[in-house]
Chains A and B, each alone.
Chain A
Amino acid sequence: MPSASTDVIQGTLDMLILKSAALQAMHGFGITQRIEQISAGVFRVNPGSLLLAFQRMERAGLIDSEWSITENNRRAKFYRITDKGRKQLKEHTREWERRVAAIARLLEA
């Protein structure tokens, strides 16, 4: 089955990033890995869109960033969810579940 690109709906990528960052503060590649792992390869993350999304969401106040030094003595930027981001995630989840339920009803009818 071909992988769906998360680019299709920008809101989807935002939601996935928020969910990953909610579990634990992570750097960019780590979030990519988490999304791809948990979705079992269904979603592939475009790195360019990811980094752009980070910038957008950080400015909107949904995530916070922090620089730290990794074991390899490299600078890495870690992203953490904020309270505002948590609220947004909850709303997105609720909206998503509503839509899924509606589509399920349509398909069964």
Chain B
Amino acid sequence: MRRSPDQTEPDFRRLRIFAIDPLVARDGDHQVTVQVRFEELELRPEEKDRDPVSFRGRRVEVVDVDASGAAPIWLKPVELDAAHIAMQHGLEPSESDPQFHQQMVYAVAMRTFEQFDRALGRMVFLRGKHRLRLVPHAFSGGNAFFHPGLKAVLFGYFRASEEAPGENLPGQTIFTCLSHDIVAHEVTHAIVHRLRPGFNVATNPHVRAFHEGFADIVAVFQRLSFRELVHRALQTARGDVRQAGLLTDIAVQFGQGLGSGKALRTALDRKTKIQDVHEEHELGAVLVAAVFEGFYTTYERRSADLVRLATGGTGVLPAGALHPDLVTRLTVECVRTAQSVLTMCIRAFDYLPAADVTFGSFLRALVTADWELNPLDEVGLRAAVIEACRLRGIFAAEACSLAVNALLLDTASHDDWTPHVSTFREWVDRAIQVGVDEERAHSPEEEIDTFVESSSSERLLERTPLILFQASPMVRAEWDKEESSEPGRSLGDQIRAWVDSLTEEDRARLLRLGPRRHGKTVTLFNTTQRLTADGLQRLGLVVQILELVSLRLDGRECEVPTGTTLVIDVTGRVRFVIATPTRADALLTELTAAAQQAARGPMGWAGASPADRFAVDYRGMHQARASS
């Protein structure tokens, strides 16, 4: 509420987007207006007698440059702050208006960032406060991907298949940036890359699958939070989410445009067990299906009473259209449940190991995170997700059962950690101070394009569809970058010094880390906020300690990340120690499996560079997915 006439800055910016692919939107009105936190947008760069070519906020920069031809084409950036555009909630959704495309990637990317903010209780920035660059028409090709080197999400555009274009016109231009799912998916990759750099090395077959599955989960559940869209879909599907393809199909236009005749993927259940599939995209789909089923079961339970009320207690819906009031109420339940699921999944991040993620460790993290926030699970969401995971063979190897108690992460033994409490308390103080400083520092520093071209041989390989950006030296370089702000840097140093000061025995006992290797440790930290059962807010600190261990695989030396996450509360006590299992031989087996998988490679191309077989290649993953 305004207190003075000077207060004109809005809290939110409303922007129109296509909630589902424009192809589907053609047979109905499927645009929605989303609300993103208001921020001043700046047109850049400011040079005399030159025009700006991008616009940016605090976390993203939309650069519309088209590199499909020999010379780059720069498209004029939309000025979302311009009164005429702002007063109509942004430009009208249109396939032929590139400035609308810019608006759409901005809006969806910000929505995705804000989902993470909300769930994690802090603003998520890329490392070093770089802005994520969004390039809506970067190249010509049926793919879109996050490029860690460029710190950019590159969206391609392509002509629909001439022979089997689905509902597209044959040869029609399809823009991947106009698919809400694709934008959300790619931005999620960028954020996951930031939150868990250790996951950039596929140390087991679940790692890549987790990347893909998690990005899909964010895309699907974010879409399920669009009230207008859900309302229309539930009206059509008579309240049954599973019958509403609008809500469950992922990237319809993209999939059809490639000639597959169907959506790229669907969140809908196949009762496939993870033990039955080996291919990583299928594995990822199992994770999505499990979470979706947990959502669906909960939604049904939450809405059953509404249906009974509306049907005089029978619970059997009559033929014909549903009463609009009922649809409205069902929509509320659907959106609320979807939001809870999404928050639950994202919150799990603070409880994930620093490297070598598996579906089992994700399940444990998710259960623990949710239990910390909501110990009673009154709506049964947690139980429903656990059950859906059980049906698909997702369980944690270390947990003896699927009971919530067993799934909760092991709490740390107090005695072991007592000597370190004061150190940790100091860390918490500093971390909180860093957070406060960051919040005050309103704008990230000026940046230039820092992408350094890889060596000529790597550049060569970049031409091939099998690109491995995250070659191990690059992963390391990424980790070695310090937190940007001064106190942040010194806290990082402090944590590393502490790790270095531990005796070998303490390392093994406390952190469950193997023998020390100098210069191979990286630390990351973030503060957390959680609510206790009695509704109090508690601050905390999550520390990731990442180390590279050296293994011999097929006679070749390779370095793989391992590590430990410490969850520390405000008093300096360690609540959870989440270690990458130190299981040298098991790790080797899994690495071999992952290597074999990678050797088959996206598109069945043989692996080009055996040294980088474990690198998570965002681009390759998508290529393979599109062609499978």
Q: Tell whether A and B belong to one assembly.
A: no
Residues of A within 8 A of B (CB): none
Residues of B within 8 A of A (CB): none
